[in-house]
Amino acid sequence: MKKLIIGVFALSVFMLFTITSANALTMFANSATWGPDLVHELDITGGSGTLVQNYTVSTGNGRGVVVMDDIIYSTESGPGSSPFGGSNIIYKTDRTTGLSLGTITVSGLPTGAAMSTLAWDGTTFWTSEYLGGNHAYQIDTSGNIIKTITLGLAINNMDGMEYFDGKLISNRGDTIGPYDVYDLDGNVLSASFINPSLNGCSATTGIAFDGDYFYTSCIYSAYLQQWDGTTGAYIQDISLSGGSFLIEDLSVDYALRDDIKVPEPSTLLLLGSGLIGIVFYRRMRRV
């Protein structure tokens, strides 16, 4: 009986870690295309990236992307007829069918501005101002701006920003590094946390976090760079193939991130069975 309980606990822990790490090497990227806007699904397994498929998400000039479960959210710097004319629209696309699921209209952006990068904190979006100043906005799912902060080390037109562990990380301008870490009020926590220019990338844009590592886009050279999520240390370049890329923003599936997601019932069941095993084991030792 003792061996059985220990075995159940060990299996539960193994399956828990297997579930939380599944699909961690699928990356989504929004390219600047001047219309139509293409979001790429990339397999970045093994230190190289291969195009799996493209999604046409709008007619505009692509900028931000967030993937949450089966929905792709995207932004543009302007519609196809005016690619830098500004836009206050978040587009929703079905990840399975590729069909439009409608839009979210954001109220309160400065006139002529657009939303560049897009991030998700579990309940609300975060975006950086494009065609404007050095602001970041927190936006609810109805399109209301509920918070505006200033990213003091940035210049303007930041096209690389991500939410992680209750913080924001952002580059300083359009293709301009490095990436600095801020709290959610805009206070600098760590300047130059990631600096792609020290590792061969002079024009850097979108950034994503998978729970362990950061990934940034070297926009004009069609590769990504991987960084340690704790120290910001450079790990490797990830070359991309199978398509044409001019990547402005990156996203993993936020539903798989431990700092974002609510545990699924199956995960809770496995964790619970492991805890029950510990309790039974301790009680048996007392007998």
Q: Taking CA 88 as the corner, what is the angle to CA 91 and CA 150, rounded to the nearest 5 degrees?
A: 115
The dihedral over CA atoms of 201, 30, 37, 64, expressed in degrees to the nearest 10, equals -110
253-287 as b/e: b if 16+ CB within 10 A: bbbbbeebbeeeeeeeebeebbeebeebeeeeeee
Domain-embedded: residue 257: no
The tokens of 256 are what?
Answer: 């798989």
Cα angle, residue 191 at apex, residues 203 and 151 outer, rounded to 5°: 80
Same domain, 19 and 38: no
pLDDT for the residue numbered 5:
42
Query: Are 138 and 77 contained in the same domain?
Result: yes
Distance separating alpha carbons of residues 122 and 226, to the nearest angstrom: 23
The pLDDT of residue 10: 44
137/52 same-domain check: yes
Q: Judge if 103 and 4 occupy the same domain.
A: no
Residues 177 and 287 in one domain: no
Among candidates 212, 216, 86, which has minimal Cα distance to 157? 86
Is 135 in contact with 128 (CB distance < 8 Å)?
yes
Q: Note the pLDDT tens digit of each residue in 222-260.
A: 999 999 999 999 999 999 999 999 999 999 999 999 888
**Residue 6's pLDDT is what?**
43
- The verdict on 80 and 186 lying in the same domain is yes
Shared-domain flag, residues 150 and 199: yes
Per-residue model confidence (pLDDT) at position 136: 98
Residues 6+ apart with CB under 8 A from 28: 39, 40, 41, 42, 65, 67, 72, 250, 251, 252, 253
Shared-domain flag, residues 204 and 269: no
* Distance of alpha carbon 146 from alpha carbon 261, whole angstroms: 22
Q: Give every CB contact of residue 287 below 8 A, 6+ residues apart in sequence.
A: none
Hey, what's the torsion of the CAs at 50, 53, 58, 64, to 10 degrees? -40
Q: Do 166 and 234 fall within a single domain?
A: yes
d(CA 286, CA 110): 67
pLDDT given at position 279: 41
Q: What is the pLDDT of residues 21-60, one digit of tens each?
A: 434 489 999 999 888 999 999 999 988 999 999 999 999 9
* Domain carrying residue 35: 26-252
Does residue 157 sit within a domain?
A: yes
Instruction: Decide: residue 54, CB within 10 A, 0-12 exposed, 13-18 middle, 19+ buried.
Output: middle
Same domain, 60 and 179: yes
pLDDT at 261: 58
Number of domains present in the structure of the chain = 2
Sole residue written with tokens 């629209």: 89
Same domain, 145 and 271: no
Provide the CA 249 distance to its chain's centre, in angstroms: 8
CA 250, 257, 192, 138 dihedral sign is positive
**In which residue ranges of the chain is pLDDT below 70?**
1-24, 261-287
